[in-house]
Chains A and B, each alone.
Chain A
Amino acid sequence: MRWQEAPLLPLSAAFALGILTGPWAATAPARILAAGGFLLALGACALALRCDRAAAATLPALAVVLGALRGATGPLPADHIARVALAPVVNVEGRLAEEPVRWAPDRTRLILDVDAFLDGDDRRPASGRLQVTLYGETAVVGEGQRVAADLRLSRPRGFRNPGAFDYPAFLRRDGILLVGTGRAESLVPLTPDEPPRPVRVKRWAAATIGAHLPETSAALLAGLILGEKTGLPREADEAFRRAGVYHILAVSGFNVALLASSVFFVSAALGAPRRTTAVAAGVALVGFALVVGGQASVLRATVMGLLLLAATLLDRKSQLMNALALAALLLLAWRPGDLWDPGFQLSFAATAGIIYLTPVITGWLEGWGWPGWLATAVAVSVAAQAAVTPVMLAHFNQLSLVGIAANLVVVPLAAAGTTLGMLALLVALASTVAADVFFQALWLALLALRTAVWGAAAVPAAMVHLPAPGWAATLAWCGALVLVPALGARRWVRAGAAACLAAALALCIWPWVRPGDGRLRVTFLDVGQGDAVLVELPEGPRLLVDGGPAGARRLDVGERVLAPFLWNRPAARVDVVAVSHSDPDHSGGLRAVLTRFRVGELWENGRWSPGSEDTLRAAERSGACRRTLVAGQRMWLGSAVVTVLNPDGTQSLDEPPPMGENEESLVLRLDWRGFSLLLTGDLGRSGEERVLASRAPVRALALKTGHHGSRFSSTDEFLAAARAAVAVISVGARNPFRHPAPEALARLEAAGARIYRTDRDGAVILETDGATLWITRWASGAVERLDLDPERA
C-alpha cells in the first residue's frame, strides 16, 4: 500500500488524537478555538502564497483542534437530571432509547431518555439519559416507548481497585451520568409498544429463530446474524473466547461482506446488470445495519461497504485504507466517545491489520510454495490477530493462542451458518414449513460450528492471560507492524522493526521478572458487599482470603474484579485460596479464581451451604489440595506464619452449626516481622467469645473487621484483646444490611483503631517492610504512614 493512496488516514488519526485530549481541552475551549482560527488563517495565507505543502501541513493540526473540540464535553444543560436536586425516590418519565435487556430472570436493564419527573405534585421537564435496573418481572416494553417508573437515582459506582475498569467513565461516554434502580411493578407504559420498523424486524427474526431451533443453537444463530449474545450460555460464550473466534458473534464486516456477496451471487445467477446489483446490495446493507443496531463494528462495515459499492457504481478504483479512514472519521465525528470502546478499537484495528498486512504475508507464504487460497486465509487470520493483540490484552487480558488456526475452520462454518440463516429468515417470510427445512439444515451447520469451537477451546493453554501492555509497549508493537511491509527494502528498516519488536516484548516481560521490593502487601479489594483480601509475601507466595460476591443473579466479582486484578499483577498462580465460610458474598467470586488460576491449596472450614455449588464444583475440579482447618493449626506461608483461630473443631461437620454458619468462619492470623493481621471472616459475638476463651493470640496490628462491621460483631472485649491500630471494613455502599453499624464503628473508635472502609476508600492497601506500615486509600490516593512500634509487635 502506498501512503499517498490514503489521504484521509493522517486526518482521521489526528482527529482521534484530538479527541484523546478532549478532557483537557474542556478546561480551555476558548484557547482551542483561537488556536483553530490561527491555524485556519495560516493555512489560508500559505494557500494564497502558493505554498501548497505548508497549507497541507496545517490540515492535520486543524483536525486535532476539531477533534479536541468534539471530544470536549460542554457544561450540562440546566434541566439535566443530574443537575436537579431530587428526592430519594422520584417518579421519572422518559422514552426508551434501546430495547430492554433482560440479563437475569428478574433483572431488566433499560436506557431511558428522560423528559420529565414529578417534583411533589408538579411535573417538571428534564433532560438527560439514565441507565435503569428494574428488579422483578417487567411488563413488555420496547424501544421508543414512553414509560414512567419510581426510581432511586444515584451516581454510578465502579469497583475502585488498582488497574480496574472505570465504570462511571464508561457510562459517561454514553452520556449517562446517573443510574437508577426500581421495582419492576412501578414501571408504567405511557404509550403503546409500537417500536420503529427495524426493531420490529429484529424482534421477529429473534422469535423466528427461537421457534425453529433448540435453545443453544438458536442463541448462537442470533449471535451470528443479529449480534445478540445475551441468550448464549456461559460455557459456550467462554468457549468462543478461548478459541479466539468471539468476533464472529459480533456483527461486523464479516456479515456485511457475506450479505453483499450473497446479493451479488444471486444477481449473477439471475443475470442482473452490475449497477442494479450494486444498488440492491447497498439497500440490503443499509437495511441490515438499521436492524442489527448501531454498534461501532456494524457502522464501520456498512460505511466501508457502501463506499466500495459506490466505487463500483462510479467505475472508480476503491482504496480500502482510505475507506477505513473515512469510516473512522465519520464515526468519531458522530460519537467521539466510541474511541474508548473496545468494539470500535477491535473492529478498526482488525480491519487495518488485514488491509495493511495481508498482501505482504500472503506474498511470503506463496513464496514458500503454499497454495494461494490457504496463504490468503492464513494471512488474514495472522494479520487480524497481530493487530488486535494489544487491544485484547488492554481490555480483556486475553491472548488466544489457537485463534489463528481456529479461525481457518470456524470462519467458513460461520459463513455457511450466517448465509443459510439469512436465507432461512427470508424463506420464513413466505412459508413457515419451508423455512423449517432450512433451519434443520442450518442446525447441522451450527452443530459443526459448535464442535469446532469446542474442540479448539479444549486445547490446553488455548488462551493465556497477560497483564495489560502500557502505552510504550503498544506503540513499539504498532511500530514493528507498520515496518513489516517495508522489511525487504533497506537494512535500517529491518533493524528498526527488530528494535521495536524487542522493545515491545521486553516491556511485556518486564513485569514478570521485576525484582520485588521486599515488602509484604495486603490488599483489601473493593468488591462491593463482600470480602476479598489478597496477601502478597515479598518472596512471592500469594494468599487470597475470600473472593467477593457472585451468584446467579448478581455480577460475578471474581470474573470482573479479582481475575483482572490478578492478571495485571501479573499472577498466573495463587498459592493459597482460603474461604472463610461458604456464604456467596465470600465464596462466590472464588469460582472464577479456582477455574482461571493455578491454585496450590484451598483452605476451608469444611462446610458448604446451598448457594455455593458453583464454587464447590470449581474447587473439586481445580486440582488444589483441599484442607479443612481447625483452630491451633499453624502454617508457613513464605516467611510469614499463618495461625488458625477458628473454628475450634468441636462441631461435627455433618450437623448444622448451632450458632449459625458465620460463627464457624475461618479466622486466620498472619505474622510477618513486626506486622500482624487478623482476618475474622463473618465472625459474630459468640464466635469472638469462643476465640477469646480459647486464649488464642488475637492481638494484632491490623484487623479485618468481622462481618462487614455488623453490630453483632466486634465486641468491646474482642477489640480490647486485639488492640488493633488499623481496622479495615470490607463493605458495599448502600448495602441492604446497613453495614457498617454505627455501634460497631463507635466501638472501633473507642478501641483506638484507625478505620478504613472499602465503600468510601475503594481498595485499601497495606504495605510494610517490617518497620513501617504504609496505608493507601485507593479512591483518593491518600497514603498514611505508621511506624511499627517494636514494643507492640
Chain B
Amino acid sequence: MTYPRPQLKLLLVLAAVFLAGLGVREWRAGFPDAAERLERFDREDPPPPIPPAPRPRAAPRWAAAHPEPAPASAVQSPRTRATAPPPAPVADPRPLDLNRASAEEISRLPGVGPSLARRIVEERDRRGRFETSDNLRGILGMGPKKLAALLPLVTVGE
C-alpha cells in the first residue's frame, strides 16, 4: 500500500468526515428531541402573547358627556423628583388561589413580575400542586420580605 502523501491526507479527511456524519446521523435518529434542542440553542422563544381584551360594549352616549372628576389627591408637588413611587395596583380583597391562578393573575400580586409569576407556575407544575403557601419559599426571586407581604394575599385551594 503506497499512497502519495497528498492523497493519503485527502482520503483520511474524507473518511473522518464520513465517520462523523454517520455518527451524528445515528445520534440524531436516536435522540431527536435533544438534537432539536441543540439546534435551537441560540434561538429565542417568541414572547408570550398578550391575550386580547374582550371588546367593550359600546358606551352610552351620555357616558362621555359626564366624565367623573379626576381625584385631586393625585396632584403632587413638582419638587417630588422623578423617583416618586408608582401608584399601587388596585388589590382584590379576596386572596388568590395559587393552585388555580394563571401566571397572568399571579403577576398582578404586589412585587411579582411576569417572570417570577412564570417561575411560580413552573414550580407548581413541578410539584403538581402547592400544599401550603409556604411552598413559595425557595423560588428564585422570592425573598423573605416579599413572601411575608404575599402570604396574606394568597391561599392554596384543593
A: residues with CB less than 8 A from B are 214-217, 233, 235-236, 239, 265-266, 268-271, 420, 423, 436-444, 447, 450-451, 454, 576, 601, 608-614, 616-617, 620, 626-637, 641, 648-650, 652-660, 685-686, 689-690, 693-694, 696
Contact = CB atoms under 8 A, between A and B. Distances in A.
Interface in B50-95: 50-57, 59, 63-65, 67-72, 74-82, 84, 86-87, 89-90
Given A632-B74, A650-B68, A693-B67, A265 B10 contact: yes
A438 B52 contact: no
B82 A635 contact: yes
Given A610-B52, A620-B114, A627 B86 contact: yes
A634 B25 CA distance: 64
Interface in B23-56: 24-25, 28, 35-36, 38-44, 46-56
Contacts of B7: 269-270
A691 B145 CA distance: 39
Contacts of A215: 39
B71 A447 contact: no
A610 B87 contact: no
Interface stretch (B13-21, B123-131, B133-141, B149-157): B13-21
Interface residues of B, number: 62
A694 B114 contact: no
Contacts of B4: 269, 271
B148 interface: no
A693 B77 contact: no
A134 to B, nearest CB: 26
Interface of B: 4, 6-7, 9-10, 17-18, 20-22, 24-25, 28, 35-36, 38-44, 46-57, 59, 63-65, 67-72, 74-82, 84, 86-87, 89-90, 108, 113-115
14 contacts: A235-B44, A266-B10, A271-B4, A438-B17, A441-B20, A441-B21, A444-B20, A610-B50, A626-B86, A628-B87, A632-B75, A636-B82, A656-B53, A658-B57
Contacts of B70: 631-632, 648-650, 694, 696
Contacts of B86: 626-629
B17 A637 contact: no
A660 B57 CA distance: 10
A214 B22 contact: no
A545 B40 CA distance: 36
Nearest to A632: B74
Contact of A440 (B21, B46, B56, B74): B21
The interface centre, meaning the residue of A235, A443, A451 with most chain B CB atoms within 10 A of its CB, is: A443
Contact of A236 (B38, B42, B90): B42
**What are the nearest 10 A-B pairs in CB distance?**
A632-B74, A441-B21, A656-B53, A437-B21, A686-B64, A694-B70, A613-B47, A440-B24, A617-B47, A440-B21
B6 A631 contact: no
A595 to B, nearest CB: 12
Contacts of A648: 67-68, 70-71
Given A214-B36, A641-B78, A654-B108, 20 more contacts: A216-B39, A269-B10, A437-B25, A438-B21, A444-B24, A454-B42, A610-B50, A628-B86, A628-B87, A631-B70, A632-B70, A632-B71, A633-B76, A634-B78, A635-B81, A648-B70, A649-B71, A650-B70, A685-B64, A689-B64
A614 B64 CA distance: 33
A249 to B, nearest CB: 15
Nearest to B40: A216
Given A233-B43, A633-B84, A694-B69, A616 B78 contact: no
Nearest to A686: B64
B49 A610 contact: yes
B6 A268 contact: yes
Contacts of B47: 613-614, 616-617
A271 B8 CA distance: 13
Nearest to B52: A610
A236 B39 CA distance: 12
Contact of A649 (B21, B57, B74, B80): B74
Contacts of A610: 49-52
Given A269-B6, A269-B9, A439-B21, A656 B55 contact: yes
Contacts of A650: 68, 70-71
A633 B22 contact: no
Contact of A216 (B17, B43, B82): B43
Contacts of A437: 18, 21-22, 25
The interface centre, meaning the residue of B17, B72, B114 with most chain A CB atoms within 10 A of its CB, is: B17
A479 B71 CA distance: 66
Given A440-B22, A610-B50, A620-B115, A656 B40 contact: no
A451 B79 CA distance: 51
The interface centre, meaning the residue of B18, B21, B39, B108 with most chain A CB atoms within 10 A of its CB, is: B21
A633 B81 CA distance: 10
B84 A635 contact: yes
B35 to A, nearest CB: 8
Contact of A447 (B38, B54, B57, B68): B38
Contacts of A614: 47
Contacts of B84: 633, 635
Contacts of A685: 64
Contacts of A634: 75-78, 80
Given A632-B76, A649-B74, A658 B43 contact: no
A601 B9 CA distance: 61
Given A620-B114, A632-B70, A658 B18 contact: no
A614 to B, nearest CB: 6
Contacts of B69: 693-694
B83 to A, nearest CB: 8
B55 to A, nearest CB: 7
A654 B57 CA distance: 16
Contacts of B39: 214-217, 447
A756 B48 CA distance: 39
Contact of A633 (B72, B74, B90): B74
Contacts of A454: 41-42
A110 to B, nearest CB: 29
B43 A235 contact: yes
The interface centre, meaning the residue of A239, A454, A686, A696 with most chain B CB atoms within 10 A of its CB, is: A686
A450 B64 contact: no
A239 to B, nearest CB: 7
B140 to A, nearest CB: 16
